């Protein structure tokens, strides 16, 4: 598909340098689109929060299509671009905007208005598309299912040595910003109780201090639990090594779309233990590609199985890796976005791209 000459404006809720899912996705998509000859400009905070700036940006850049990376957090930019002209806008529902805010009385009216006004909607899974159709059937014809891409460069850094984790430890690992929605610290008291049975347990975590209360709690727990090891940031070039420093990858989020960290762990061949939420359930088959938990009792039960059964860990990890590899082979993320942009442009909802 020849899309050279197309112009796309991204509106993202966080700066590209921040290790957030939206920023990682925008950086990856921009690189892929540019390789196809597409001109991409990125509006990030504080610009996306200033209506006049976004109106002028849209008029000056004159994009063929706009990709909005969060319905709620980029709502100011969306409205400003609407006022600037008939630019088709695609809203990417990526997590909390779909899973929580669409049901929140404080947000849902404005989000639904944006979804009604936009030219297209992207979601990661068929289940998300089905949920949208139950909210408003008119969303169905403009919803595109495009799985989240993933890129995992290989590396050989020894994070156990770097962090000082004893070699004989059985390690639970996690990658998540220190935010309440990610619930990164929820499992620590449970692991502490498991250590009474399995004293070799350790926990490693990578994630920026994003919310004060969660960051303060991490510091308190680090003084109490000497078997936990934290690093604020791991560069993407080394994330493969950090993931493989663990024996099991854990994600305890309250809400997700299709988190990069989980997909990267699966691609790395890690057994994954995931909170039982729709975003995670759509990524893996229970007991084949992942284990799931709701609360402490289920977590302890699943964790014991993984600690005591190396064959189960290996089988889960291999199945998870194969699933992600198969998905990447079947669905080219960049080609899917270009196809969607082309379809929307050709429908005449904006300028016709030559």
Backbone angles phi, psi at 21, to 5 degrees: -55, -45
With 0-12 CB in 10 A as exposed, 13-18 as middle and 19+ as buried, what is 153? exposed
Residue 6: the pLDDT is: 96
pLDDT in tens, 238-262: 999 999 999 999 999 999 988 999 9
Taking alpha carbons only, the member of 155, 147, 178 closest to residue 236 is 155
Beta-bridge partners for 184: none
Alpha-carbon dihedral angle through residues 266, 272, 278, 279, given to the nearest 10 degrees: -40
Tokens of 295: 């609360």
How far is it, in rounded angstroms, from Cα 16 to Cα 19? 8
Q: Which residues make beta-bridge pairs with 89?
A: 66
pLDDT digits (tens, 9 = 90+) for 189-239: 999 999 999 999 999 999 999 899 999 999 999 999 999 999 998 988 999
pLDDT at 331: 83
* CB-based contacts of 57-61 (< 8 A; 24+ apart in sequence): 57/9, 58/9, 58/84, 58/85, 58/87, 59/84, 59/85, 61/7, 61/9
Count Cβ atoms within 10 A of the Cβ of residue 166 and give its class: 0-12 exposed, 13-18 middle, 19 or more buried.
Answer: exposed
Q: Give residue 348's pLDDT.
A: 66
Q: What is the pLDDT of residue 276?
A: 98
Which residues, listed in sequence order, are joined to residue 248 by a DSSP beta bridge?
172
Could you read off the pLDDT of 51-90 as tens digits, one per residue? 999 999 999 999 999 999 999 999 999 999 999 999 999 9
CA distance 258 to 333: 14
Residue 153 to residue 130: CA distance in whole angstroms: 34
Average pLDDT over residues 25-33: 94
Specify the domain boundaries for CATH 3.40.50.2000 within the chain: 7-147+331-349, 159-329
108-132 burial, b if ≥16 CB within 10 A, otherwise e?
Answer: eeebeebbeebbbbbbbbeebbebb
φ, ψ of residue 289 to 5 degrees: the values are -115, -10
For 277, phi and psi rounded to 5 degrees? -125, 160
For the entire predicted model, the pTM comes to 0.81
CATH topology of domain 7-147+331-349: Rossmann fold (3.40.50)
Topology given in CATH for the domain delimited by 159-329? Rossmann fold (3.40.50)
How far apart are alpha carbons 3 and 7 in whole angstroms? 9
pLDDT one-digit tens code per residue, 266-304: 999 999 999 999 999 999 999 999 999 999 999 999 999
pLDDT digits (tens, 9 = 90+) for 112-146: 999 999 999 999 989 899 999 999 999 999 999 99
- Give the model's pLDDT for residue 349: 47
Mean pLDDT computed over every residue of the chain: 94
């Amino acid at each position: 598909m020849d899309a050279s000459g197309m112009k796309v404006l991204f509106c993202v809720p966080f700066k590209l340098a921040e290790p957030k899912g939206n920023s990682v996705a925008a950086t990856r998509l921009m690189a892929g689109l540019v390789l196809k000859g597409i001109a991409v400009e990125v509006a990030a905070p504080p610009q996306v929060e200033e209506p006049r700036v976004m109106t002028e940006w849209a008029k000056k850049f004159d994009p063929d299509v706009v990709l909005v990376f969060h319905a709620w957090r980029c709502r100011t930019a969306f409205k400003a671009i609407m006022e600037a002209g008939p630019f088709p806008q695609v809203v990417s529902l990526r997590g909390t905007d779909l899973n929580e805010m669409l049901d929140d009385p404080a947000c849902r009216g404005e989000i639904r208005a944006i979804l009604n006004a936009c030219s297209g909607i992207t979601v990661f899974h068929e289940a998300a598309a089905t949920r949208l159709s139950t909210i408003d059937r008119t969303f169905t014809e403009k919803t595109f299912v495009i799985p989240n891409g993933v890129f995992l460069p290989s590396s050989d850094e020894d994070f156990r040595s770097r962090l000082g984790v004893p070699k004989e430890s059985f390690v639970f690992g996690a990658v998540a910003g220190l935010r309440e929605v990610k619930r990164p610290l929820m499992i620590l008291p449970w692991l502490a109780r498991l250590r009474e049975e399995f004293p070799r347990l350790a926990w490693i975590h990578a994630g920026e201090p994003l919310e004060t209360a969660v960051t303060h709690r991490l510091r308190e727990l680090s003084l109490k639990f000497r078997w936990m090891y934290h690093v604020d940031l791991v560069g993407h070039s080394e994330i493969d090594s950090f993931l493989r420093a663990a024996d099991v990858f854990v994600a305890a989020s309250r809400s997700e779309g299709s988190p990069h960290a989980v997909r990267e762990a699966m691609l790395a061949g890690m057994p994954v233990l995931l909170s039982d939420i729709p975003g995670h359930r759509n990524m893996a088959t229970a007991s084949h590609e992942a284990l799931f938990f709701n609360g402490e009792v289920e977590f302890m039960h699943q964790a014991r199985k993984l600690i005591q059964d190396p064959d189960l860990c290996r089988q889960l990890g291999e199945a998870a890796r194969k699933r992600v590899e198969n998905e990447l082979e079947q669905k080219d993320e960049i080609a899917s976005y270009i196809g969607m942009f082309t379809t929307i442009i050709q429908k005449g909802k904006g300028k016709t791209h030559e």
